[in-house]
Structure 1
């Protein structure tokens, strides 16, 4: 189970908590500037929050109260950022599979296809390049 509790006041106020069970899909939604991308960057370890506790199962990735901060490279997390951050020379499926480099290529492509189907993309849409 992924469990996230994050709060900070500077440089921008941000507070949130959520959890996600294995195999469950999670989407952060909200208006522009609400902190969705910042929250995901903190989860991935790309930004350091003022106060946070992030755990996956029994692994603690971040606990500011205890001084624990697992390096970004050691966290098994993949993010697909907004369109500007996609690889323009890669299909939608290849962009999603990029987050699974720890798996063999055939497994990456299969799992990427399954995730995109869950999101409602057809096989043809999965093969499109970013617009």
Structure 2
């Protein structure tokens, strides 16, 4: 059995998960990354996507996150999400609302740099929509 470590997934609304896990796959801004026990200390930003967690019991849990950051230490990982829900609660309506809000923000921004950042976020949400069950 792989070494277990502490993992917490927290959003402003609630603590979604606090468990011993053996693996966490995170949608980091610069690419998907897998966290295992004894990982080098790292802090990374998170883009919208799917977090896959393998619990110490062997069960797999999935969560949809909408931005945030992860603090990774050799003994654990904490993911602080701007917003997150269990995959089972992620509906097409929720995603469509977030896309609509983001498009509105893009239309109303004056800064080219900010618009580019928002367009990248929109691409991430659109990709996420293709990975969620219908």
Question: Is the TM value for this pair above 0.5?
Answer: no
Between Structure 1 and Structure 2, the one with more strand by share is: 2
| TM-score between both structures, scaled by the size of structure 2 | 0.30
Q: Bigger relative contact order, structure 1 or 2, given CA contacts below 8 A and separation 6+?
A: 2
